Amino acid sequence: MPRRPLRAGILGTGTIATSPNGYLVGLMEMTSDVMTVAAADPVIERARTVAKRYQIPGVYESLDEMLEKSDLDLVINLTPIPLHGSTSRRILKAGKHLVVEKPIATTMEEADELIELANDRGLLYVVAPPNMVQPNRVEAKRLVAEGAIGQPCFARVRSSHGGPAAGNWPLDPTWFYQEGSGPLFDMGVYGIHDITGILGPAKRVVAFSGITEKVRTVRGGPFKGKQIAVTADDNTLLMLDFGRSAYAVVDGTFNVNAAKSPQIEIFGREGTLNLYNQQQDPTAPPLEIFRLDAVPGVDGWITPRQRSFTDHSSQQRYRRAIMVKHLVDCLTENKRPILSAEHARHALEIMLKAIESARRGQVLDLATTF
């Protein structure tokens, strides 16, 4: 007997739900697996507009109302960062599978509670970012594990941009710059997930962090000219220690207005591995390797061409909803998510201890793994 599509509710109908690379466009490609049957947003008119556009039958002003009145299998939590913990708790307590934007929460206590809730109820729990299911990340992890560049020594990881106030953000970007949010939670989390996903859990962290501009001016969009008081650090640089003298430098900042370098560079004793952001530069290779003795006696760069990791058709088709597809695949195949809550908890500990390290001027040990 064919399995019926999972019934999904969207919590939050802002930019991450509706952008061209957002969830709802991708969910429209998944109707045999997932039917979006409800949307909730405290800005009810926005929710109604989005629901009409995407033919979502149920529209609600709150999460609690959606959970009470809609028959759901899973909820896609797209609330602002400070609300991730409290809203995810209510979703899991209601017995729903969960896809949530990054970070998993803003405190370790919240993250621990959420993971325990999901495990106790047998619920699948997938947490952004989706990077580690991207084909070039999967291949990079395999190559490093197989010794393609020898023993990893250090990495440089760029995961930042100029901040939502620097572009044409369609909504008020103020909260991105406020305490409890900031570029480390918003953007640095990508690089942390990337490098720990490829090299494994980190053991220690040290960081520098501060505010470069006390007031940001919105440069475009409907809130152009608005002055934003910055209360969260907008410039963080951290270093991770993976053991065996392997280190990584990761940025989490709203000060990268432009860059041409690879998104990730991993330097090993026998070579170098580069990963690029093809959304920023479609002409760049998804992955390239420099190897000592690429052929006997000759060192050189290699751009692998295997379709298995140069084919981005799934990512292009499902957009941000690739995480929902990942949850569906894990349910169907009874397997543990790659985008696990435990990995997200490890990333959260790194971010929280990076902030603490910067304040205390100390290297701090990490307790979590995944």
- In the beta sheet, which residues pair with residue 98? 75, 125
Q: Do 201 and 170 reside in the same domain of the chain? A: yes
Q: Do 150 and 193 reside in the same domain of the chain? A: yes
Q: Is residue 246 part of a domain?
A: yes
CB 101 within 8 A of CB 76: no
DSSP 211-265: -S-SEEE--SSTTTT-EEE--S-SEEEEEEE-STT-EEEEEEES------S-SEE
Place of tokens 């599509």: 5
Q: Is residue 175 part of a domain?
A: yes
Q: Is residue 60 part of a domain?
A: yes
Q: Do 161 and 66 reside in the same domain of the chain? A: no
The residues near 49 (Cβ < 8 Å, ≥ 6 apart) are none
Query: What's the pLDDT score for residue 299?
Result: 95
* Regions of the chain with pLDDT less than 50: 1-2
Q: Do 165 and 296 reside in the same domain of the chain? A: yes
| CATH for 87 | 3.40.50.720
Place of tokens 């103020």: 174
Going by the DSSP 8-state scheme, the letter that residue 6 receives in this structure is: E
Q: Do 137 and 260 reside in the same domain of the chain? A: yes
Domains identified in the chain, total number: 2
Q: Do 109 and 146 reside in the same domain of the chain? A: no
Q: Do 103 and 135 reside in the same domain of the chain? A: no
The residues near 79 (Cβ < 8 Å, ≥ 6 apart) are 11, 12, 87, 101
CB 96 within 8 A of CB 71: no
Q: Which helix (DSSP H) or strand (DSSP E) does residue 216 occupy?
A: strand 215-217
Taking only the tens place, the pLDDT of each residue in 96-107 is 999 999 999 999
* 178 closest CA partner among 128, 106, 269: 106
* Alpha carbons 309 and 331: distance in angstroms, whole number: 23
Query: What's the pLDDT score for residue 330?
Result: 97
Taking only the tens place, the pLDDT of each residue in 177-188 is 999 899 999 999
- For residue 199, give its domain range: 131-310+346-365
Q: Do 18 and 110 reside in the same domain of the chain? A: yes
Query: What's the pLDDT score for residue 149?
Result: 97
Q: Do 13 and 154 reside in the same domain of the chain? A: no
Q: pTM of the full predicted structure?
A: 0.94
- In the beta sheet, which residues pair with residue 204? 241, 365
Query: What's the pLDDT score for residue 145?
Result: 97
Q: Do 323 and 298 reside in the same domain of the chain? A: no
| CATH for 285 | 3.30.360.10
Q: Indicate the SS3 state at residue 250.
A: strand
